[in-house]
A and B are shown apart, each in its own frame.
Chain A
Amino acid sequence: MSATVGVVVFPGSNCEHDVVWAIERLGGSTRLLWHADRDLQGVDAVVLPGGFAHGDYLRTGALARFSPMMESVTTFARDGGPVVGICNGFQILTESGLLPGALQKNSGLKFICSTMELMVASTNSVLTARAAPGAILRIPVNHFEGNYVCDAETLAMLRGEDRVMLRYVDNPNGSVDSIAGICNEGRNVVGLMPHPERACEMALGSEDGAVLLGSLLQAAALPRTPPLAPTAGR
């Protein structure tokens, strides 16, 4: 398997090399894609990495969604291409309208940097396909704005359509329904606050992130199928 994953670099991204390291360790190839370019260079999947894109000015992800590369990523996503947003990348996906809801300040107003236990709520997505349903994964989080919010209608839709991918075992940040990760209608766009790229080697305390990024590589290697339905807006 030698799928190529494009990792978008915004000014202020700081996890792009961790993602590159993890993907290559799992046998994939990578390309760093500068946010101001438009060419996806033929990659098979896209990761929006963690960090502080555009300094998180105004709101996390609010300015990054206007980067030229995001236009290409949006088209790629709407065509069914696998896209994963990690932490700040998740915030960018909600601001872009590729995923519903929003991420706001943690309910305790504390920056949380800690390994969390996550339960796999659904295996029906490009990021969780290889995980076991109900499995507990130990993966670090590192965020101040990871408190997932959406209205009751959106939550009912996410639950009804099996679009909650990961839940915190002990909700650390006030996220509605303990949500740590969700996907879009087409199940090819996933956003999550935890950092699977930081849990792909026992020297770092856990290898549980490998099953997630391995799922992404598997999805990236598949021939692209057209999307079933338009992705959800805000």
Chain B
Amino acid sequence: MQFEAHVDVGHRDGILDPQGATVERSLPALGYTNVSHVRVGKSLRLRVEAVDAESARRQVAEMCERLLANPVIEQYTIDISEVTVDSTTRS
């Protein structure tokens, strides 16, 4: 089975995010004075062939630990969904 994984990589809590801080400082100039906690991260999408969703998730988590994220400064979340015929034709 094929699974679509959406990996969201961002700074770990407590690590300064220079891009997020800069965006946060820019928003008040547009009138948005009510925004805080801006974080800028990365979004990765990949397709994984695996026996089930749990196996796909486990493999993607391993990829995150080894390459896709740097655990020293980054944390990540993984969303897994099964690739259906419908979603295949869409992409």
Contact = CB atoms under 8 A, between A and B. Distances in A.
Interface of A: 58-59, 62, 66, 94-95, 100-102, 104-109, 147, 149-151, 174, 234
Nearest to A63: B67
Contact of B18 (A58, A95, A106, A151): A106
Given A100-B72, A174-B18, 19 more contacts: A58-B68, A59-B70, A62-B70, A66-B67, A101-B72, A102-B72, A102-B73, A104-B73, A105-B18, A106-B18, A107-B16, A109-B18, A109-B22, A149-B15, A149-B16, A149-B72, A149-B73, A174-B16, A234-B71
B72 A94 contact: yes
A234 B66 CA distance: 11
B19 A62 contact: no
Nearest to A97: B72
Instruction: Label chain A's interface by main secondary structure.
Output: loop
Q: How large is the interface on B (under 10, 10 to 19, 20 to 34, 35 or more residues)?
A: 10 to 19
Interface string B46-69: 000000000000000000000110
A58 B22 CA distance: 21
Contacts of A59: 70
A150 B14 CA distance: 11
Contacts of B73: 102, 104, 149
Contact of A102 (B16, B22, B70): B70
18 contacts: A58-B68, A59-B70, A66-B67, A95-B70, A100-B72, A102-B72, A102-B73, A104-B18, A104-B73, A105-B19, A106-B18, A107-B16, A107-B18, A108-B18, A109-B19, A149-B72, A174-B16, A174-B18
B11 to A, nearest CB: 8
A100 B71 CA distance: 12
Nearest to B73: A102
B67 A62 contact: yes
A109 B19 CA distance: 7
Interface in B18-42: 18-19, 22
A151 B73 CA distance: 9
Nearest to B44: A58
A62 B67 CA distance: 7
Given A107-B16, A149-B15, A58 B67 contact: yes
Contacts of B22: 109
A23 to B, nearest CB: 31
A124 B71 CA distance: 29
A98 to B, nearest CB: 13
Interface centre among B16, B67, B72 (most CB of A within 10 A): B72
Interface in B62-91: 67-68, 70-73
Contacts of A106: 18
B40 to A, nearest CB: 10
